[in-house]
Structure 1
């Protein structure tokens, strides 16, 4: 059935949520993982069938991805879709512009017959995403589609910029009123204390060395109409300077393009992150998010340790998450 064929009901749990509770509990039990008290409380909350879905939020490294991925895998239907938040809204905006069609029709194209949708790493920095999000949530809920979302932020903190917060308030209200908001409480950051990742992004490295002069001529890459400069390209591996990717005004769409075309990225001439200005540092954070989410190995040569990020005068809003993700890189 299509998007419009699962109508929202005023009362009672979502049928897919009800059908998922038992398989989710069984999968958690079969995992043989020892969960802490806050994680157990979150698992209990997701085991209680919701009317429309769940918004699971908490600090980095607390197991949100593990718990939500286990839930998503347990949903007993193949009619389900998982999206990284950035990817979904990039594709949605492109679809609307390309086809010159209403939001509802573009959503149907992206979601197909989905009866459940999982948005991973829910965070809003682009006001356009915030505007589309309200309409998207309304459409999903009206369609009776089960929504599962994870975030590092409480709904009220998703768009902190006071210039745009009021425009995003309707989305916050929808999340609070319609989804079961589940807080995964404070505890151990398992990314920092458990075994390092052994594939993809986790095979990357962070090498600290004094900056050296780099006069390598650049190579221009055409990223869907935007020019990205690289120092070298060898098959699906490319080398960029910090200036190439973070000082220049690039956006998430260009980083997603790189992640789709490349299998390994090297970033050189990275200054001490504590000395970097706000905008380049925010772009660096977006770059790390995209490469981590797409599991692309990253090799960094920098003037300082990765932890210096949080000592910047204006660190990115997601500094804790970015520092946690950078901890997966092996110090060389």
Structure 2
């Protein structure tokens, strides 16, 4: 059952009205003691504290925008200002490392389709359309990792009361998938599969309280990349101005969709932000009303996920966000219509 169908449950609501977030300027916010390692089996619910009280800084903030636009640096400053936990952006290292084991060590005994495909290979491959199968698998793995990271961020907020900042979160991942499809890097079947997957999984989220979109014209961003020090993007033949513009347009579409559910601010980063400008942005954020109104209008859907957050709903969240249950969520939508994404038994049999 989707979370939005469980929100009208009775219980003691946990949301209080605050005037805004409190700037800490590098100091620690007086959060209540965390209890991250407590067992949350159903049998334990009557005997454990369900969650600490939420404070004015108990917020989920995502920093979105085009690639190489300075999202991580901005997020670090934001997290430091309000004493929030920073979740760094997902990289391909998060995909090919499993329990500190580099899965690429198995590549010599795997078939080409079964080998680990990384962003380095994508950027350096001169055969533009040769690796659609591998690009499809890479994009799906990125979305899964982003999805699990968002869930971990929400669980951290529930368990500790500390707010979180995410960089390049799952809710804007569709912009990248659409760009890959329009530029011919993934197949139509896989694109349709990902659209169904987004439609089925994203509504399971509690949408963030605030989205910060870092916007920069594609022409300026392309020039910055070519003049920058990141050789992987700098020397890539795939990273064109049109490619960056497609991502930017996709982010703008996401902005229009999600500003109905949460607060949204757009920051022009065509020129590097100086400390004074950052202070002004953070001051504006501190004065924003990021809590649901006490008496919302019947058609007001902003913060609607957070309007009825109760102890009873938190118990359901803890159960629903178990890792095994999340895996089942992805398994309910099979990629049967895009066999190019799958690795077949005959290929596995070549090295077993």
TM-score range, shorter chain: 0.3 to 0.5
Structure 1 or 2: more strand by fraction: 1
TM-score, with structure 2 as normaliser: 0.31
> TM-score if structure 1 supplies the norm length?
0.33
